[in-house]
Amino acid sequence: MPVLILQGHNETYAATEMMRLFFGNPVDVSPGRIQAGAPGNSLLSSLAPQGENVRVSTAVCPSDADRTGTTEPQPAFTAVVASGQATREIKRQLYQLLSVLTKRSYPWGSLVGIRPTLVAAECLKQTGDEEQARHLLTDTWFVSPHKADLAIVTARTEEAVLNKIPPGHLLVYVGIPFCPTRCSYCSFITRDAPAHAALLEPYVHAIVTEARTLFQKIRTPVAALYVGGGTPTSLSAGQLDRLLQSVLSCLPLAPDAEITVEAGRPDTIVEDRLHVLRAAGVTRLCINPQTFHDRTLQRIGRCHSTEQTLAACHLAAGMGFDHVNLDLIGGLPGEQPADLDFSLEQALALKPASLTLHALALKRSSALYEADAGTRQSGGSSPLMLPTGAQSLQPAWDDKLQTARKLLAASGLYPYYLYRQKQAIGGLENTGFALAGKACLYNVGMMSDRRGVVGIGSGAVSKKVRGMRVERQANPRELAIYIERVKALTERKISWYTT
């Protein structure tokens, strides 16, 4: 198996992500050594001080090159950079080396992190010109031209949206970890609501307790509230009403604050729950069909149909919700790139104010991940992930996302935020599209790490921003522990925020 030796640095995480991009799982990580893929060359990634800077080098190990018995020059890369740029340079060089050795390339090049638009924004700032920034992304970071364009356009929009959130304002997230069923690709801490009905009432009470206690002390204006999950509309209308009214009554909401509820599953979107959401002043409603193919819905463990999705959207529109967001996922099990055409056509016919297009990611603890791991362990080839299963499909999915972007633009929907997940099909991205003026403040502010977030509920993560430094604190994921200890947990969070 290819072995990467780390010398003079311990950038294990960055190097592992790059090895996983080219070779998939499993990746065996030990101190100073990363092993992945089929048998091949031994590689060396080294870092050494050079004055106030550092020298980064990446190459095939000399001893390994000697054993090949060839006189052909072995690829090697080196650069002197500021110490703060060392991690990126290590990834950049490793991408170059692996691309040469495997004869593969990926649309996002060496930008394997969550937020490629962060690098795009830096390129814009450095050059002051969009065309020069695009060239910097393609020439330095090996991003494909169409992804460079997407990153530049989205980075511009993200900054404009972020400027609508005053720096001193907060974002609030309320997590409801219950769903009607668990999707096969899901790794969230969700519970099957029907099977855990006895926990719903105590959980709502705990959420209300945490919110009221927190915001007796924290009076910073709140620019956006996002009630997510899970599926918050798994709660009964009465429970949903108590939760929303109680939380909203104690939040110091800014004028014109954005209020999002992730209704998610179309089979939970019924008239009495929508009346509750309207009465609470919800300004943005998310409905997540994921696909408009019934056979796929059954395959991934959803208990609703395309017909129910259409009915839920029409019901919401008829009740006055003028901002409905739809979610679609490309690459769901059994679907080919062409299958996205029909789903996108159906979604756009509903005239959503925003739409998020995801590339399927294989997440640990999901049923899909376990099934895929079992297939590989038994000697079979992965039907899902890179590089064995989806490598041949990657250009097709990349092309399909480009086509989708053009179709969305024709409907007035343009990219406003973008992020990537580990082990996404084709190494591709998740992009939020919106009509002018309909970009989600919470999505951009949360992803930016430049606005504070108060997370309420089990597993919810809070972020405290102090200049360039971001600190995080998470509530326990276990429902029983969260419910039992909510008062003590809240007091600890107040102390954390106020110090």
pLDDT of residue 381: 46
CATH superfamily assigned to domain 162-484: Aldolase class I (3.20.20.70)
Cα angle value 332/335/336 (rounded, 5°) = 125
1-104 and 162-484 in the same fold: no
Kindly list the domain boundaries of the chain, sorted by start residue: 1-104, 162-484
Angle at 281 between CA 459 and CA 442, to 5 degrees: 45
Start-to-end CA span in the chain (Å): 49
pTM higher than 0.85, yes or no?
yes
The CA distance from 35 to 393, in Å, is 25
The pair of three-digit structure tokens given for residue 32, joined into one six-digit string: 């100073």
Which pLDDT score, from 0 to 100, does residue 375 have?
Answer: 54
Chain centroid to CA 301: how far?
21
- Per the omega criterion (within 30 degrees of 0), is the bond before 26 cis? yes
Question: Strand, coil or helix: what is 13?
Answer: helix
pLDDT at position 121, please?
A: 96
Q: pLDDT at position 494, please?
A: 95
Question: Is residue 9 a contact partner of residue 45, using CB atoms and an 8 Å limit?
Answer: yes
Q: What local confidence, expressed as pLDDT, does residue 97 receive?
A: 95
Using alpha carbons, select from 253, 249, 325 the residue that is nearest to residue 284.
325
Residue 383 CB contacts under 8 Å (≥ 6 apart), including other chains: 333, 372, 375, 389
CATH number of 1-104: 3.30.160.100
Distance CA 206, CA 485 (A): 9
Q: What is the pLDDT of residue 250?
A: 97
Give the pLDDT confidence score for residue 387 in this predicted structure.
40
456: its two tokens: 């309420």
pLDDT tens, residue order, the chain (499 aa): 589 999 999 999 999 989 988 887 788 999 999 998 777 779 999 999 999 999 999 999 876 544 545 545 678 999 999 999 999 999 999 999 999 998 988 999 999 889 999 999 999 999 999 999 999 999 999 999 999 999 999 999 999 999 999 999 999 999 999 998 888 888 776 667 777 788 999 999 999 999 999 999 999 999 999 999 889 999 999 999 999 999 999 999 999 999 999 998 999 999 999 999 999 999 999 999 999 999 999 999 888 999 999 999 999 999 999 999 999 999 999 899 999 999 999 999 999 999 999 999 887 777 777 776 655 555 554 544 444 334 445 788 999 999 999 999 999 999 999 999 887 887 899 999 999 999 999 999 999 999 999 999 999 999 999 888 999 999 999 999 999 999 999 999 999 998 8
DSSP per-residue codes, 118-153: HHHHHHHHHHSSHHHHHHHHHHHS---HHHHHHHHH
Among 14, 107, 4, 112, which Cα is nearest to 58's? 4
In angstroms, the CA 483 to CA 199 distance is 9
What CA–CA distances, in Å, run from 273 to 61, 268, 433, 460, 477?
A: 63, 8, 26, 24, 26
**334 near 299, Cβ under 8 Å?**
yes
Q: Residue 391 has what pLDDT?
A: 47
How far apart CA 223 and CA 463 sit, in angstroms, is 15
| Amino acid code (one letter) for 244 | L
In 3-state terms, what secondary structure has residue 489?
A: helix
